[in-house]
Amino acid sequence: MQIAEFQRLIEAIYYEKDKARGAAATFQWFVEEVGELARALREGEGAEEELADVLAWLSTLASIHGVELEEAVRKYAGGCPKCGSTPCRCEG
Q: Which of 46, 67, 47 is nearest to 58 (CA)?
A: 67
**Domain map (residue ranges) of the chain:** 3-76
Superfamily the domain 3-76 falls into: MazG-like (1.10.287.1080)
pLDDT, residue 42, reads: 97
Sites in the chain below the pLDDT cut of 70 = none
CA distance 18 to 16: 6
- Kindly report, residue by residue over 63-89, the tens digit of the pLDDT: 999 999 999 999 999 999 999 999 999
b/e string for 15-47 if b means 16 or more Cβ within 10 A? Answer: beebeebeeeebbeebeebeebbeebeeeeeeb
Rg (CA), the chain: 15
